[in-house]
Structure 1
Amino acid sequence: MTSTFFSLSALALLSSSLALTVKHERGTLELSAPVKRVVALEYSFIDTLLALGVTPVGGTLGTQGGDRGAPPYLRALTGKITATGSRAQPSLEAVLALRPQLIIADAFVHSGIYPQLATLAPTAAFQSRRGSLDDLNAQTLVIGRLVGREAAAKQLLADQQSLIRKAKAFVNKKAAPFVAAVVTPNSFTVHSNQSFVGSFLEALGRKNALSPKGDQTQYELSLEGLVALNPQTLVLFTAPDELPVTREWKKNPLWQKLSAVQRGRVYVFDRDNWTRGRGPVALKLMVAQAIESRLLLDAAPPSAFREQ
């Protein structure tokens, strides 16, 4: 009886030591121990988990509802992840079938279905789509705790800071503020210094010309609105298989009056890799391309990063 008693006591102490409590956008989540089976409903969460050495059992990799699917850099890494619909339209049935111990949801995109997700498994919600670089980094630490990889998460962020410090050596400190925008065939959406990509470029040492508009960290702008800003540097995020609305804008004399156009300082990046991954893996690619494009130097971009 004595040995059994001590064994049960040891198990109770071990269970207590493994228990964790974390705060997220919808409250507080309590778990008896770090989890192994995770369903991630946003690309940044998939990116973060993979960077931590954890493969989620499921993720929103589908193309339903107009979603473009996983960013190119992430596709090669998701072969063992079961698709659970698209980010905008996750399949609750597919999620339930995977028997997750944890669901990670986007506080903005999945706000309407959060109560339903929470009935399937413990669910944590974070601001990914509308989050800044600081928000995403904080999430990396929390996700690391949830999956028992807190030390690895801290190391990821330390490595990231080291990489950013090295990139800053390329920055022209006299460079004028930039305007950054995601450009689709029908819209021109600027990203303020509180969006992920807008705050990332500021972290590298370039100054973002725009602050949030009310509570919107990113918002649409017309050509006339862009002309009113008249940025000396323009950073565009487009998709290689789309014709961005700026193709039409280039036919307008107003476009040619932009200082960024006249200076030859219009930089173009793949919007799938830059604005939709938002995780530690994506960030390494982004730092490399920010240097390669000469954006940090405020020099004319090479053809690979120049508007055609």
Structure 2
Amino acid sequence: MRHIRPIIWIAGLFFLLVSSVSWAHPLRVVALEFSFAEDLTAIGIHPVGIADDGRPEQLIDLLKKFPYQSVGSRAQPNIEAIAALKPDLIIADRDRHQLISDQLQAIAPTLLLSSKRTSYSQSLKVAQKIAQAVAKTAQMNKRIAKQTRYFSSLKSKLRSCQQQRILFVISRASSLYAHAADSFVGSIFEQLGFVSAATGFTNDQPSRQINIEQLLWINPDIIVLGKYGRFALSKIWQHDLLWHALKAVKEHHVYSVQANIWVKGRGLLSAEQMATHLTNQLTGACS
């Protein structure tokens, strides 16, 4: 009996330590935005659940390499599916999920962060908060430093394009949307040495829809075009005189990109893919 009590005490202490570590170092994480899932993956934590809108093809390729459970759409996550995963931590979007935060908190500790309308620098602060929540601050700081060096190397390759006015445009079946300088994509352009073409609006505005006349007024040197659907509006413009009057069109500086990643990514991995893709297309093109 004299030897049993210390064993029981040690076992109890071990249980308390494991319990506290499990809470302080969450491993089973559910991410309700693509960017949160990217930032976790960038530091070696693969979410057990992702709100992928039921369309995994929208995710960046690296996220799809690791198994996860879909927990519905980003706009309306499936509470039952989240609970079934028994997560240690839920990372939710402050704008989208504020109204269901009590339900999420009832399942697991929930971190409300911004994603939808963040700039690149703001997204890095979000990434650092995520890393702090999963006890990976040092790893995240190292990963961000690596990306900063990488962007600097890409910027040097694009020296001939620097100071060119660039605009990211989304083309849908019947509408056109332009991204402001303070948007996520706009701030990626800035990291690479470009100047975002003045649009007259900011990223905070609920609608950034423009028409072809407004696009001609902006008249950027470079257009990065993300198309949604087979019959995106840009196909119609190919027969429009105003489209052909654009400087970027006349000088063959319109570059197509994968719309889903460029619009919905907003994480470390998407930022890197965008910068790499754009550099590959533009290296030597502006000279």
TM-score range, shorter chain: 0.7 to 0.9
Q: Which of 268, 273, 289 lines up with 2:277 in the alignment?
A: 289
Q: Is the 8 A contact 1:194 1:212 kept in 2?
A: no
For residue 42 of structure 1, report the CA deviation from its aligned partner: 0.9
For residue 32 of structure 1, report the CA deviation from its aligned partner: 5.7
Residue type matched to 1:249 in 2?
W
Who is 2:232 aligned against? Answer: 244
For residue 170 of structure 1, report the CA deviation from its aligned partner: 1.7
TM-score, structure 2 as length reference: 0.85
What is the aligned length? 281
Who is 2:3 aligned against? Answer: none
Residue type matched to 2:35 in 1?
S
Mapped partners of 2:38, 2:179: distance in 1: 21
State yes or no: 1:186 paired with 2:174: yes
- Is the alpha carbon distance of 1:150 and 1:37 closer, same or farther for their aligned partners in structure 2, counting shifts above 3 Å? same
Q: Is the 8 A contact 2:162 2:193 kept in 1?
A: no
Who is 2:129 aligned against? Answer: 142
Who is 1:89 aligned against? Answer: 76
Between 100-109 and 87-96, the greater mean CA deviation after superposition: 100-109
Mapped partners of 1:47, 1:214: distance in 2: 22
Residue pairs, 1:259-278, within 5 angstroms: 259-278=247-266
Q: Is the 8 A contact 2:162 2:194 kept in 1?
A: no
Residue type matched to 2:225 in 1?
L
Mapped partners of 1:272, 1:111: distance in 2: 24
Who is 1:123 aligned against? Answer: 110
Who is 2:120 aligned against? Answer: 133
Query: Structure 1 or 2: larger helix share?
Result: 2
Q: Which of 28, 31, 39 lines up with 1:48 in the alignment?
A: 39
For residue 120 of structure 1, report the CA deviation from its aligned partner: 2.5
Query: Deviations for 1:196-248, whole angstroms, at most 9, x for unmatched residues?
Result: 11111111111112364373287111112112212222111124x53211111
TM-score, structure 1 as length reference: 0.80
Q: Which of 85, 106, 118 lines up with 1:98 in the alignment?
A: 85
Q: Which of 10, 15, 30 lines up with 1:39 in the alignment?
A: 30
- Is the alpha carbon distance of 1:76 and 1:68 closer, same or farther for their aligned partners in structure 2, counting shifts above 3 Å? closer
Q: Is the 8 A contact 1:175 1:298 kept in 2?
A: no
- Is the alpha carbon distance of 1:68 and 1:218 closer, same or farther for their aligned partners in structure 2, counting shifts above 3 Å? farther
Mapped partners of 1:60, 1:288: distance in 2: 26
Q: Is the 8 A contact 1:168 1:204 kept in 2?
A: yes
Which 5+ residue runs of structure 2 have no aligned equivalent?
1-5
Q: Which of 202, 205, 221 lines up with 1:216 in the alignment?
A: 205
SS at match of 2:255: strand
Q: Sequence identity of aligned pairs in percent?
A: 30
Larger RCO, structure (CA 8 Å, separation 6 or more): 2
Computed over aligned residues only, the root mean square deviation of the Cα atoms, in angstroms, reads 3.2
Mapped partners of 1:215, 1:158: distance in 2: 28
Q: Is the 8 A contact 1:182 1:189 kept in 2?
A: yes
Q: Which of 119, 135, 154 lines up with 2:141 in the alignment?
A: 154
Q: Is the 8 A contact 1:191 1:217 kept in 2?
A: no
Mapped partners of 1:282, 1:62: distance in 2: 17
Q: Is the 8 A contact 1:231 1:259 kept in 2?
A: yes
